[in-house]
Chains A and B, each alone.
Chain A
Amino acid sequence: MKFVVLVKQVPDTNEVEVDEETGTIIREGVPSVLNAFDEFALNVAVDLKEKIDKEVEIIALSMGPPQAEEALNKCLAIGADRAILLTDKIFAGADTWATAVTLGRALKKIGEVDLIFAGQEASDGNTAQVGPEVAAHQGISQLTYVTEIEDFDPEVGEIICRKEIDEGHLMVKGDMPLLLACMPRPDFEPKIPNIREIMKAKKKRKETWSYEDLGGDEEDYGLEGSESVVIKTYSPPPKGEGIKIDEEPERAVEKLLRFLDEEGIL
């Protein structure tokens, strides 16, 4: 069986600075890490592999600049068997659709894949679009907000997942091939690779694929292949301190109503 985990390297900071001219995130001097959502997805894939009595190859697939190899090294230490980095100047500036196209072409080149795991979103863009778009591009089903795999029957090709929704959770059944967009559980503690696993990862298969390897029209990729245009990227202005009503409930409601009335909200 073959599992592919889609991963992204993201800036390790909450205080992202934006280049005002280009509208892109300034990455220079900011340390990068494996996107936590993707790390969770990889952990789900590795746990599943350990549970099933079948030979499984886990491939970590990423699109990014050459330094994204660091994130893939971590994936190999955590338990991926093989890593592929899609890197080329032609891929640069891709929006979610062009990213999905690029990843999709790589998936075609990889061949038959049983399960695709993706993080629900990336902590830098937070679009939550790439996973579902890859599924659409591949013409396969998808389950989103997956927090746990409850049951998996590799012979029948059926998987039952726990999916978080606002009101609670759903147990959803899907048929392979399938894409799972994974959402870390609050109690999730990522696997910490030990020294032996890190050293073992050094010997695992790592590949770099460029435009030449994926083929197709150049205009399908990167900025040119993007359907959306970023007009402006900015940090929202901080919210004010707000008003705190610190009274007994009856008096507090009275005060609140008066305030809402005065402000013309009611």
Chain B
Amino acid sequence: MAETDLSDERGLTEEQKLFRESISDWGERNLPLERVIEMNREGHPFPEDIIQGLADLGVIMGPVPEEHGGMGLSWKDQSIIEEQIGYIDPSIATAAGFMAVETGWGFTINRYCNEEIREKYIKPAIRGEKFVGIATTEPKGGSDVAGFESTAEKDGDEWVLNGEKTFISGVEECQKIGGGYWVNVRTGPKIDEAPHKNMTAFFVPIDTDGLEPQEPYDDAGRGSLSTSGFVMNDVRVPEKYMLGEQGKGFYYTMEGFDNARIMIGASAVGVTRRILEEAADYIKERETFGRPLAKYEAIQFPFVERYTEMEASKLMVRKTAEMQDVRYDETGWGEKTGDPKTYKPTEIAKWISMIKYKVPHLAKDTADDAMHWLGAAGYSSEYVFETAWRGVMSYCVGAEGGANIQKIVIGRETLGKDYVPYK
């Protein structure tokens, strides 16, 4: 832990303060920076002791209702947990695998799945015994969510899936401990003027016949978590493994993205704080030309600018999480029971896009600054800055939605639909 403490607990409930304290203590004991750097260097699959530790801590899928094996936390609670997960692992691998993917998407799977999937996959994933994830991106692209080509055809009481998914987080981990993926496929013809129609979501266990996992990519960062894909050759899943209703996959996918992006925004706040604290320790200590680096305005001013942006981002993330809580209070935390009243989902999506666009870039830019402040030391993996820089970059270039897609959403909600660039 850094000596400099930039955390600010004002405004948190007693429970939220304890969440942070427990995660900090657990991180200090099990995931110190040396281990984060080592895990990043050694590569995937993600260590099972850390998965089990996260599960024992109770941080995976916290907002899933208690009767479904979760903790019944609010998204605000979970975002505070997630912020601290980003803080203890600034490579962002832990946050990516188990908060954005398992928590954001796992929660959404749980809303639309049947009891069998819940018992066989969701509850074990919460216990750290299985992994659940999301597979939307295809070789033709990911940002064009409705432009996918994988299909499913009905055969009796089964559906037969064909196609390919790529740049999927956690496939190797899922193969290792078991689990499955939310897979979007087309269950009807592509309608050019409304390509999002006929999109249906299925839950596909990783060990289903015909599902062929591909070799993991050699990513620039978040090295301890695998990214790969799988080909589906006549993959048969029972009708009951359809998530929600046929043809509504696009809407569920947008909901999953919303939850995952809140997690990403929160984790990037944590990553930024860790970078600033570690950097502060260094620049207060290290002297050049007879005075500490921190006394140079060229270093101090960007430091305080990043700090200010981090505090602003934190408030944005918490406001957004609160909006999502209102949404689920009105529509149901488990199965859907009502319609949103207070906020339109697109309004919440605007805030979510703002944090998804802004905060990972802030974390990446802060890591970039810190590497400049430290010079050669910052460039070395002896310090965590380059590990963090390479990790958060994944959320700048596109994981959980590229920056430009977020800007289109923000533009649509502020300037109006008439100004959407692609229409």
A: residues with CB less than 8 A from B are 69-70, 73-74, 77, 189-190, 192-199, 201-202
Residues of B within 8 A of A195 (CB): 19, 22, 57-59, 62, 71, 73, 81
Q: Which of chain A's residues has its CB closest to B21's CB?
A: A74
Q: Is B218 an interface residue (CB 8 A)?
A: no
CB pair A198–B22 under 8 Å, yes or no, is yes
A109 to chain B, nearest CB (A): 25
CB pair A194–B22 under 8 Å, yes or no, is yes
Residues of B within 8 A of A77 (CB): 18, 22
- Besides A73-B15, A194-B57, A195-B57, 6 other CB < 8 A contacts? A69-B14, A74-B18, A192-B26, A192-B29, A198-B22, A199-B73
Residues of A within 8 A of B72 (CB): 199
B: residues with CB less than 8 A from A are 14-15, 17-19, 21-22, 25-26, 29, 56-59, 62, 71-73, 81
Residues of A within 8 A of B62 (CB): 195
CA distance A70 to B18 in the complex (A): 9
A122 to chain B, nearest CB (A): 19
CB pair A198–B57 under 8 Å, yes or no, is no
Residues of A within 8 A of B25 (CB): 190, 192
CB pair A193–B18 under 8 Å, yes or no, is yes
Residues of A within 8 A of B58 (CB): 194-197
Residues of B within 8 A of A202 (CB): 14-15
A160 to chain B, nearest CB (A): 30
CA distance A199 to B15 in the complex (A): 7
CB pair B59–A70 under 8 Å, yes or no, is no
CA distance A160 to B422 in the complex (A): 77
B159 to chain A, nearest CB (A): 36
CA distance A202 to B74 in the complex (A): 15
CB pair B29–A189 under 8 Å, yes or no, is yes
CB pair B22–A192 under 8 Å, yes or no, is yes
CA distance A229 to B11 in the complex (A): 38
CA distance A77 to B20 in the complex (A): 13
CA distance A190 to B81 in the complex (A): 20
Q: Which of chain A's residues has its CB closest to B17's CB?
A: A70
CB pair B29–A196 under 8 Å, yes or no, is no
CB pair B56–A198 under 8 Å, yes or no, is no
CB pair B19–A198 under 8 Å, yes or no, is yes
Residues of B within 8 A of A69 (CB): 14
CA distance A133 to B72 in the complex (A): 44
CA distance A125 to B71 in the complex (A): 39
CB pair A192–B57 under 8 Å, yes or no, is yes
CB pair B56–A194 under 8 Å, yes or no, is yes
Nearest 10 CB-CB pairings of A with B: A195-B58, A194-B58, A198-B18, A196-B58, A192-B25, A73-B14, A194-B57, A192-B22, A192-B26, A198-B15
B68 to chain A, nearest CB (A): 14
Residues of A within 8 A of B29 (CB): 189, 192
A17 to chain B, nearest CB (A): 17
Q: Which of chain B's residues has its CB closest to A69's CB?
A: B14
CA distance A70 to B17 in the complex (A): 9
CB pair B22–A199 under 8 Å, yes or no, is no
Residues of B within 8 A of A194 (CB): 22, 56-58
CA distance A3 to B108 in the complex (A): 44
Residues of A within 8 A of B15 (CB): 73, 198-199, 201-202
Residues of B within 8 A of A199 (CB): 15, 71-73
CA distance A69 to B25 in the complex (A): 20
CB pair B17–A196 under 8 Å, yes or no, is no
Residues of A within 8 A of B81 (CB): 195
Q: Which of chain B's residues has its CB closest to A33's CB?
A: B21
Q: Which of chain B's residues has its CB closest to A70's CB?
A: B14
Residues of B within 8 A of A198 (CB): 15, 18-19, 22
B349 to chain A, nearest CB (A): 27
